[in-house]
Amino acid sequence: MSSAPPLLFDRRLHRRRLDRAAASIGTADFLRVRAAADIVERLEGIMRSFPLAVDLGARDGAIARALASSAVRERIGLLVEADLSPAMLATRGGPRVAADEEHLPFAPRSLDLVVSALALHWTNDLPGALSQIRLSLKPDGLFIGAILGGGTLAELRWALTQAEVEISGGAGPRISPFAGNFDAASLLQRAGFALPVSDLDTVTVRYAHPLRLLQDLRAMGETNVLAERARRPISRAVLARTCELYLERYGDAEGRAPATFEIITLTGWAPDASQPQPLKPGSAKTRLADALKTVEFRAGDKP
């Protein structure tokens, strides 16, 4: 009998944080705008139509805005925006549905396209969420999703941990763990997607002060919702020391604080017989040496 996935995140708290951020997310949506533009650019290279599409974790509509300025919008019929936060959806027009990424409400084989810009990394069971997405897609339906990767906020993670150890004698979990790029690629295969692709975009944002980074994270709705998070708030002393250590170790020549964000983009197709299939081992009809116009040597032979 399979065990339930570990409870990493407090999803109720995550929804409350998103509700709170609904009024401010537009002031700090640069990462989501970047991810949405990348997703739309990928769609532009796929010459087919998608009659029914879902934007999962739509937030303030970054994907819809990116589509509005792209010719690919003409090939997408109905775009439904879905989000865990009703407050986020209240700012949107058009078709929308409140939906938990961990419990999708869509019928099997009902969707042609699912896109998601920086929402799925907050799911407790990412492989399970991806499996639900795959099941909701029609055969040969497409999924493109962006999540935050393992190197995200490495500078803040180090500085905050060091400051807590120095001042409080120990550090509690305050920053979410994120998937690595290699792990993300295997997640698509585990979820049953065909033709899986995973790639990484590293973004460095330079802040005038580490506190401005914390303000942006709050405005994005991306603050700590770990189920086993430290319950005591960060003290003023720890926060001040965090900023000192951050600037001492990572500050640039102008005194700015660089913050690293990794965006992993996942692309996969719901399996279909029409898709290219891998050849069986030994079925090749042309020798690799002939194709490369070189001489083949057996193992141990000297050229």
Q: What is the pLDDT of residues 212-243, one digit of tens each?
A: 999 999 999 998 888 877 667 789 999 999 99
Specify the higher pLDDT residue, 273 or 57. 57
Is pLDDT of 296 > 90? no
Only one residue has tokens 């399996």, namely 271
Helix (H) or strand (E) holding 38: helix 30-44
Tell the CATH superfamily of the 11-292 domain: Vaccinia Virus protein VP39 (3.40.50.150)
- Tokens at 190, concatenated: 């585990």
Q: What is the pLDDT of residues 103-126, one digit of tens each?
A: 999 999 999 999 999 999 999 999
Percentage of the chain modeled with pLDDT above 90: 74
The C-alpha atoms of residue 149 and residue 302 are separated, in whole angstroms, by: 45
Helix 210-220 × helix 236-250 angle, to 10°:
110
Domain chopping of the chain, boundaries: 11-292
Closest to 108 in 3D by CA, of 127, 88, 140, 134: 134
C-alpha 189: how far from its chain's center?
16
The C-alpha atoms of residue 27 and residue 31 are separated, in whole angstroms, by: 11
